[in-house]
Structure 1
Amino acid sequence: MEAVNQILVQMDQTISTPTLDLVCNICPKCGTPTEHIVKLFGKKKKVGVNCRCKALELQEKEELERYQEQMRKLERLRACSLMDESFKNSKFENWEHTALNQKMFELGKEYCDNWEKMKAENIGMTIWGDTGIGKTYLSFCIANELLSKGVSVIATSSINLINQIYESYGRVGALGEVEIIRQFEHASLVIIDDLGAEHNGKSGKEKQIIYSVIDARVRAKKPLIITTNLSTEQLRNKMVGVDGVERTYDRMMEICPPVKVKAEPRRQAIGVKKTAILGSLLN
Structure 2
Amino acid sequence: MIGSIAENILDGLAKEPYMKDGDYIGEGGLLYCGKCHTSKEKEINWFGTGIRKVAIMCKCEAAAFDERKRREQKEEEMQSLRRARISSMMDETFQTATFENYRKNGGNEKHLSIAKNYCTEFQKMYENNQGLLFYGTVGTGKSYTAACIANYLLEHNTSVVMTSFVRILKEMQGFDREREEAFTNRLNSVRLLIIDDLGAERSTDYALEKVYGIIDDRYRAKKPLILTTNLTLNQMQTASDIRYERIYDRVFEMCYPLEFKGVSWRKREAAQRYEETKKLLEG
Q: Tell me whether the two structures share a fold, i.e. TM-score over 0.5.
A: yes
Return the offset for 1:121. Answer: 2.2
Contact 1:184–1:216 under 8 Å retained in 2: no
Look up the match of 1:260. Answer: 259
* Structure 1 position 148 matched with structure 2 position 123: no
* Structure 1 position 198 matched with structure 2 position 201: yes
Return the offset for 1:113. Answer: 2.5
Distance change (3 Å), C-alpha of 1:239 and 1:127: farther
**What is the 5 A alignment of 1:44-123?**
63=73, 71-77=82-88, 80-82=89-91, 84=92, 86-123=93-130
Counterpart residue type for residue 179 of structure 2: G
CA distance in 1: counterparts of 2:167 and 2:7, whole angstroms: 71
Look up the match of 2:231. Answer: 230
CA distance in 2: counterparts of 1:245 and 1:98, whole angstroms: 34
Distance change (3 Å), C-alpha of 1:209 and 1:263: same
CA distance in 2: counterparts of 1:179 and 1:199, whole angstroms: 23
Counterpart residue type for residue 145 of structure 2: L
**What is the 5 A alignment of 1:152-163?**
152-163=159-170
CA distance in 1: counterparts of 2:211 and 2:162, whole angstroms: 14
Return the offset for 1:119. Answer: 2.0
CA distance in 2: counterparts of 1:212 and 1:158, whole angstroms: 11
Q: Match of 2:173, SS?
A: helix
Look up the match of 2:133. Answer: 126
Look up the match of 1:181. Answer: 184
Please give the TM-score of this superposition, normalised by the length of structure 1. Answer: 0.70
Distance change (3 Å), C-alpha of 1:88 and 1:196: same
CA distance in 1: counterparts of 2:194 and 2:223, whole angstroms: 11
CA distance in 1: counterparts of 2:98 and 2:4, whole angstroms: 68
Contact 1:133–1:262 under 8 Å retained in 2: yes
Look up the match of 1:212. Answer: 213
Would you say how many aligned residue pairs link Structure 1 and Structure 2? 247
Contact 1:239–1:249 under 8 Å retained in 2: no
Contact 1:196–1:238 under 8 Å retained in 2: no
The RMSD of aligned alpha carbons is: 3.9
* Structure 1 position 240 matched with structure 2 position 242: yes
Distance change (3 Å), C-alpha of 1:37 and 1:166: farther
1:171-224 superposed Cα distances (whole Å, 9 cap, x missing partner): xx33332222122101121111110111111xx121222222212322222211
Distance change (3 Å), C-alpha of 1:176 and 1:221: same
CA distance in 2: counterparts of 1:15 and 1:156, whole angstroms: 63
Distance change (3 Å), C-alpha of 1:278 and 1:186: same
Return the offset for 1:103. Answer: 1.9
Return the offset for 1:160. Answer: 1.3
Contact 1:191–1:226 under 8 Å retained in 2: yes
Counterpart residue type for residue 155 of structure 1: M
CA distance in 2: counterparts of 1:14 and 1:97, whole angstroms: 74
Return the offset for 1:275. Answer: 1.4
Q: Match of 1:92, SS?
A: coil
Q: How many percent identity over aligned positions?
A: 29
Contact 1:111–1:118 under 8 Å retained in 2: yes
Return the offset for 1:68. Answer: 5.3
Return the offset for 1:99. Answer: 1.4
CA distance in 2: counterparts of 1:154 and 1:259, whole angstroms: 21
Please give the TM-score of this superposition, normalised by the length of structure 2. Answer: 0.70
CA distance in 1: counterparts of 2:156 and 2:257, whole angstroms: 26
